[in-house]
Every structure is written in C-alpha cells, then in structure tokens.
Structure 1
C-alpha cells in the first residue's frame, strides 16, 4: 500500500473513477437488479459537486478505488444524522482487490470525520455485499439494524456505524 495515494480525484480522473465504481459493482452482481444505477455510479463530477470524493491511485496514476463521503442532510445522504459522517459507493477495481485499497479508503474517511470533529461514521450496504460486510466488521463497525431500510421493494440496505 505504500505506493497508493488517497486523495480527491482530478477532473481528468473522473471518468476512470466512475468506471472503477461500475466495474466493481458489476463484478459482484450488484447492478443486475438496479437498472440505471450504473449512470449514478459513473457520474463522479456530480458527486464531487455535492459530496467529497476520494480516489486511491497507484504510482502509475491508475485509479484503483474510490469512495464518496457524505454529510448529513446533503443530496447523497441516506442515513447520516448530525454528528455523523457517511460514506457511499466504496469501490475497488477487481484486479486491485486484496491489496488493502478498500481499507485505506475507509481509514481516509475516518481521518476526514476526525478532522471535521464528527465522532461517528455510518453507512448503508446492500444486504448481499458480504465481502464488504466482512471488511466493515474487521475494521470495527457494528450493525445498526434500526436504520436498515428499503429504497425500493427489491433493494434491502443494512446499516453500520463506528465511533472514530
């Protein structure tokens, strides 16, 4: 991980960051039931305008992963409340998995929450994103079942939180 930099994306990296997000979700079968969500995932320029986006970039400039950091009450917020920072759309390019990229992105979210003086980080995750759930739990996230929700009848999201 020493050759991976976590930082906001440059405009010329928006397309690559969007494509990494789509490829990651598609590789795990998370786009099949949600027609049109790929366009939301690709639209990094919009996310940058309404939230904070981070990318993980290797020494050659290749975008390996990305995450969107969301403030309560903002356009991308799903479950965050005052005093909480939320993240969404965590994605690691399939060839970069197993190298600590996802963990590094999440730890950057923790750093951002601390810098903002926010004591908690929360997230929603598709109930079938089992590998992501293992990562969250290994990092110390706890389930927050009272905030589980369904944006659509066929989509179940489960909530997690951690004190940072």
Structure 2
C-alpha cells in the first residue's frame, strides 16, 4: 500500500494533534514535558488549519503524521520572506516512522510551493535534536542557513534550512 498525502479534515484534527504532541514529547523536544505551553499549539490543528494548509500522511486508513504548510502571507510563517513558503510542525507517530511518511509530507509541501507563482524557495525551522528530520531535509536538497537561526524563547535555538525551487 502507498502512503496517501491529503489535506487534513476536521475529523482528523484531534488525532493529528495527539500524534504531533506525542512526537514532540516522546522525542524530548519540549523543555517542560507535559506542562510545556507549546503543547497547546501542537494540539491545535483546527487553529492551524484556519490559517494555513495542514496535510496528513495516511496508510490504509490510519494517520501516520502531518505537517503545516504556510504559503506566502500565512500568519503561521515564522521565517519566510518574500518569495518563500514555509512548513512547520512536521511530525510522524513513533510507531509509523521509517515508512516514508515524513519525506512524503515534505515532498507534498515542495509540490504546493512550486505551484504558487512567485515562490522561489521553501524554508523551515527545526530543533537541534531532530536528526531524523534533518536527514530528510538534506536528502531532499535543503541547505543550512545558519545566518537565519533564531530563538523564539530563551534557550531554544532553532536551526533553519532553505531549498531553492
């Protein structure tokens, strides 16, 4: 069976929110664990879907993970400048990793960006410890842009990557 990438439906929101929060929690990417204030944002798929496109990876009717694609002008774009699209909150359920869902979600974001007139690149921010995601980005041709690294809160440096389309 092939992984299907599609726009998240309202019926997917709660499950995708838990997959996303669970991925960040289980991988140790939240400084305050279950009490981390970012958990609300990770679980708020409906809020993201109202301001950007949320995509899910599905295999045999089971959600594997998701990502938020922020087209130019989206309020969810943190670092995208003119001519850039961005994606955020890429997450795959721990038990679904290694099946290609993460890469399929990133490729879907690249396809969407290429379809938007005037978009020349895709950018993203990632935590230092997200090595699995970093491997996907490099494999797909993203390059590090350390001059754009930033810290949304104290003691959380986000690394940035860019792919010219």
Rounded Cα–Cα distance in structure 2 between residues aligned with 1:137 and 1:64: 22
Rounded Cα–Cα distance in structure 2 between residues aligned with 1:95 and 1:102: 13
SS in 2 for 1:65: strand
What do residues 86-114 of structure 1 show as CA deviations (whole Å, max 9, x unaligned)?
00000000011001000000000010011
Correspondence list, 1:48-127, <5 A: 48-59=49-60, 61-117=61-117, 118-127=119-128
Which residue number corresponds to residue 23 of structure 2? 24
1:160 correspondence with 2:164: no
Find runs of 4+ consecutive structure 1 residues off by over 6 angstroms.
none
Return the offset for 1:74. 2.6
TM-score normalised by L of structure 1: 0.94
Which is further off, 33-42 or 103-112?
33-42
Aligned residues: 162
**CA RMSD, Structure 1 to Structure 2 (Å):** 1.3
What do residues 5-34 of structure 1 show as CA deviations (whole Å, max 9, x unaligned)?
100111111101111101111111012347
Unaligned runs of 5+ in 2: none
